[in-house]
């Protein structure tokens, strides 16, 4: 069995050598081997720092499918509160559609984590949205958010503070203690799930409903660039290798103001990954201007720039112009299709 753990920084094992999360996975392989000693189990960590379910729908073909998984664990509820809540159902539809199109027998399960306090008084809106999606598809879910709050309430752990008792090292990302207090219960529940699954013979029926995100396509930036772009692979100096892997063929760097990206598409959303320290852009979508700036940070952080979002399913014309450099663009995604 090959398992891909596809999630946020709570799943990501490390970034540039620093471990951010992944502790809930710590006991999984050992637990499976303890139950099935000859199990050939491969666990692939495809955590994405700062990602949401909606963003993750656009990375399935680069971060999940190449590993040919038998099971995908989805863990994005942690970052899904706020403006991303309405996108959860369609994003999960998109993730499932892309996995099932390529790997129809692949299993999917949801892992639910939340920041400190979010589940103290019951499930958060993001948790409820993920559980509703699990119900629609008949997917199992592992609610580690409620379990973590129960540990704190019972005095068995704290959210932050003393490393000997704290679930996190910064109030957000899990610390080593979570390997025991979250990882062991998760591993035990996972083994129970697999044991039950092996007894089941019923086929799973995927709901036949509209899945706009399943029409999300990745395009090369090159045909749509105008002006002084430098085209080439990203370097580890720009960002660590783990996170540039999906962009290495489609990097476009602007070292001065002026370069443009221009495209027409038929659909509902056009997005581009961008990177920079203080880079600014002007976006004109169907004649309406908006302006954006990438926050300064070291190392530079990948983000998503919405070229046109939440628009009607029709033909649209979009232009991005670099106002301040440096600015680096990665993958272009369109939910819909490019206009001819």
Extents of the domains making up the chain: 2-199, 220-338
Look at residue 211 and tell me whether its pLDDT is greater than 70.
no
DSSP SS3 for 109: strand
CATH superfamily, with its number, for domain 220-338: Galactose-binding domain-like (2.60.120.260)
- Amino acid 137: pLDDT: 92
- Amino acid 205: pLDDT: 52
Question: How far is C-alpha 47 from the geometric centre of its chain's CA atoms?
Answer: 7
What's the CA gap between 85 and 52, in Å, rounded? 10
- Amino acid 271: pLDDT: 80
- Which backbone phi and psi does 222 adopt, to 5 degrees? -55, -45
Percent of the chain exceeding pLDDT 90 equals 51
Look at residue 311 and tell me whether its pLDDT is greater than 80.
no
What's the CA gap between 96 and 88, in Å, rounded? 12
Question: Does 169 or 338 have the greater pLDDT score?
Answer: 169
Nearest CA to 245 out of 327, 302, 326, 292 is that of 302
Hey, how many other C-beta atoms are within 10 angstroms of the C-beta on 33?
13
Structure pTM?
Answer: 0.79
Q: Is 268:215 a contact under the CB 8 Å cutoff?
A: no
Q: pLDDT tens digits for 103-161?
A: 999 999 999 999 999 999 999 999 999 999 999 999 999 999 999 999 999 999 999 98
- Residues with Cβ within 8 Å of 37's Cβ and at least 6 positions away in sequence, in order, are none
Q: Is 138:126 a contact under the CB 8 Å cutoff?
A: no
What's the CA gap between 261 and 266, in Å, rounded? 17
Hey, how many other C-beta atoms are within 10 angstroms of the C-beta on 206?
15
Write down the residue that tokens 């203080």 correspond to: 278
Q: What is the tally of helices (H) and strands (E) in the chain?
A: 9, 15
Write down the residue that tokens 């490393």 correspond to: 163
Weakest-pLDDT range from 12-21, 57-66, 237-246, 285-294:
237-246
Q: Say yes or no: do domains 2-199 and 220-338 share a fold.
A: no
217: burial class by Cβ within 10 Å (0-12, 13-18, 19+)?
middle
- Amino acid 208: pLDDT: 46
CATH superfamily, with its number, for domain 2-199: SGNH hydrolase (3.40.50.1110)
**Mean pLDDT for the stretch of residues 207-221:** 63
């Amino acid at each position: 069995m090959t398992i891909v753990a596809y999630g946020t920084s709570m799943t990501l094992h490390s970034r540039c050598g620093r471990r951010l999360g992944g502790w809930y996975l710590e006991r999984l392989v050992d637990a499976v081997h303890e139950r099935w000693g000859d199990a050939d189990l491969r666990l692939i960590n495809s955590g994405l720092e700062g990602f949401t379910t909606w963003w993750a729908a656009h990375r399935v073909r680069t971060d999940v499918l190449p590993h040919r998984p038998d099971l995908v664990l989805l863990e994005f509820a942690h970052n899904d509160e706020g403006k991303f809540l309405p996108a959860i159902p369609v994003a999960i539809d998109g993730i499932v559609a892309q996995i099932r199109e390529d790997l129809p027998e692949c299993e999917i399960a949801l892992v639910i984590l939340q920041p400190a306090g979010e589940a103290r008084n019951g499930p958060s809106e993001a948790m409820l949205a993920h559980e509703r999606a699990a119900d629609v598809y008949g997917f199992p879910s592992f609610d580690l958010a409620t379990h973590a709050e129960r540990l704190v309430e019972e005095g068995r752990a704290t959210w932050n503070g003393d490393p000997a008792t704290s679930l996190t090292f910064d109030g957000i990302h899990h610390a080593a203690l979570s390997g025991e207090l979250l990882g062991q219960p998760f591993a035990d529940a996972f083994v129970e799930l697999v044991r039950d699954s092996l007894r089941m013979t019923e086929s799973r029926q995927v709901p036949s409903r509209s899945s706009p995100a399943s029409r999300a396509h990745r395009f090369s930036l090159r045909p749509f660039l105008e002006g002084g772009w430098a085209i080439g692979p990203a370097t580890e100096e720009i960002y660590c290798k783990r996170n540039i892997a999906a962009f290495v063929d489609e990097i476009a760097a602007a070292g001065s103001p002026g370069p443009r990206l221009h495209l027409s598409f038929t659909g509902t959303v056009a997005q581009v990954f961008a990177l920079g320290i203080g880079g600014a852009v002007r976006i004109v979508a169907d004649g309406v201007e908006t302006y954006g700036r990438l926050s300064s940070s070291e190392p530079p952080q990948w983000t998503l720039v919405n070229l046109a979002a939440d628009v009607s399913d029709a033909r649209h014309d979009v232009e991005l112009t670099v106002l301040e450099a440096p600015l680096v663009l990665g993958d272009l995604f369109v939910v819909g299709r490019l206009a001819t």
